[in-house]
Copies of this chain bind each other. A is one copy, B any other.
Amino acid sequence: MSDKSNGIEMLRSSINTICHLNDQIIDAFLSLFTAHKLQNGSDFIREGVMGKHICFVTEGIFRSYYISPKGEEKIKHFFLPGTFFAPLTSLVTNQPSPVYIGTLKDSEYLSADYNAIEVLYTEQPELNKLGRKLAEWAWIGKERRETQLIMLDASSRYKAFREEFPGLERQIPQYHIASYLGITPVQLSRIRANLK
């Protein structure tokens, strides 16, 4: 379940659903990844640090989040097994990361050095297609999130969250869900009481 070879196969099949590339390119890409573990509550990257890796979740739960001037954590996204995460703003802009990424459970992931991927992009231009597809799908995710934040009230966002991350609300404290929804735990509790 958690040894490296299975994680790599999980990654391979994930890539295959995203775009068609010949096996040689995919193998070269996969060879850049190594497996890691991270304890519950640890950060993969913190604000102010340069991003260096692209990652793929094989086990556990990750989140990306900000810390507000008041010291409150604001969760932007949850990452479950089978999904990619990266401090993309940092990687693309070559600036320190504005965002934290960390675990909400003992977790496992594969990571690849972004510079090494960029070298491979040059050697194997077709690989850019994978990068393009990943960025496009990531954009679509953000766009959907933006739509929910602008169009829906907190109660509807909560319902949308439960459909988008089924079962997740039973695995993590509710204040993390409130943070993702952009409300306080108190308000989430009221919303839950209301839905009964």
Q: Answer whether residue A106 sits at the interface, using C-beta atoms and an 8 A cutoff.
A: no
* Across-interface contacts of A128 in B (CB, < 8 A): 125-126, 128-129, 131-132
Q: Answer whether residue A27 sits at the interface, using C-beta atoms and an 8 A cutoff.
A: no
Q: What is the number of residues of chain A that contact chain B, defined by CB distance less than 8 Å?
A: 31
Q: Answer whether residue A150 sits at the interface, using C-beta atoms and an 8 A cutoff.
A: yes
* Across-interface contacts of A74 in B (CB, < 8 A): 147, 150-151
Contact status B129-A126, CB under 8 Å: no
Q: Contacts A121-B129, A146-B146, A149-B182: A140 and B93 contacting too (C-beta < 8 A)?
A: yes
Chain A: interface secondary structure? helix
* Across-interface contacts of A125 in B (CB, < 8 A): 125-126, 128-129
Query: 0/1 per residue, A125-144, Cβ < 8 Å to B?
Result: 11011011001111110110
Residue in A98, A132, A140, A149 with the greatest tally of chain B CB atoms within 10 Å: A132
CB distance from A120 to the nearest CB of B (A): 12
Contact status B145-A88, CB under 8 Å: no
Q: Answer whether residue A92 sits at the interface, using C-beta atoms and an 8 A cutoff.
A: yes
Q: Answer whether residue A68 sits at the interface, using C-beta atoms and an 8 A cutoff.
A: yes
Q: Contacts A93-B140, A140-B93: A149 and B146 contacting too (C-beta < 8 A)?
A: yes
Contact status A151-B66, CB under 8 Å: yes
Query: 8 additional contacts, CB 8 Å, given A74-B150, A76-B150, A88-B139?
Result: A68-B151, A76-B146, A88-B136, A125-B125, A125-B128, A128-B129, A135-B135, A145-B146
